[in-house]
Amino acid sequence: MTPRIESSTEKRLVGIRLLMSFANFKVTELWKTFMSRRKEIKNNLNADLISMVIYSPNHFADFKPTNEFERWATVEVKNFDNIPSGMEKFALPGGLYAVFDYKGLNTDSSIFQYIYGTWIPRSNYLLDDRPHFEVLGEKYKNNDPASEEEIWIPIKIK
């Protein structure tokens, strides 16, 4: 699978976040909480959902399933006016990304094993220390093998 390389501008996101690890994966809890409240966000830029992850700089170099990271459930907004109580804002910095068009179950981690274990080492890029995110658009269907999403991996030239 070959990604497209894109330069993204800053995105304004509003949502909720949870600290978790792969050993203590709370993504279902995060999304249930967010989805029950997402209609409270009134200035959405579009209907897409954005699942964002903030890893520590050495997360992959010293990988353990217990390494903690921040996962966000968000939507992109026009501005940071009227943020619902209990939600937070995040300015996702722009930059260079490898964008993978993924089709399949959202529980299948083989795509990430390919990206981090095969594609990155063989590419002309290194991981950049910026958030990773997935765009869950109109073709996204939770727990469906026909689901489609975009996986955005922050990169920089070697």
10-68 confidence digits (pLDDT tens): 999 999 999 999 999 999 999 999 999 999 999 999 999 999 999 998 898 888 999 99
Listed by start position, the domains of the chain span 4-157
Task: Please say if the pLDDT value at position 4 is more than 90.
Answer: yes
The band of 108, judged by pLDDT with boundaries at 50, 70 and 90, is confident
Provide mean pLDDT across the span 127-139. Answer: 96
The pLDDT assigned to 109 comes to 84
On whether the 4-157 domain is CATH 3.30.930.10, my answer is: no
Contact 47, 94 (CB under 8 A): no
User: Can you spell out the DSSP letters for the chain?
Assistant: --PEEEEE--EEEEEEEEEEESTT--HHHHHHHHHTTGGG---BSSS-EEEEEE--TTTTTT--TT-EEEEEEEEEBS-SSSPPTT-EEEEE--EEEEEEEEES-TT-THHHHHIIIIIHHHSSEEE-SS-EEEEE-TT--TT-TT-EEEEEEEEEE-
Q: Predicted confidence band at 107 (pLDDT cuts at 50, 70, 90)?
A: confident
What is the reported pTM? 0.94
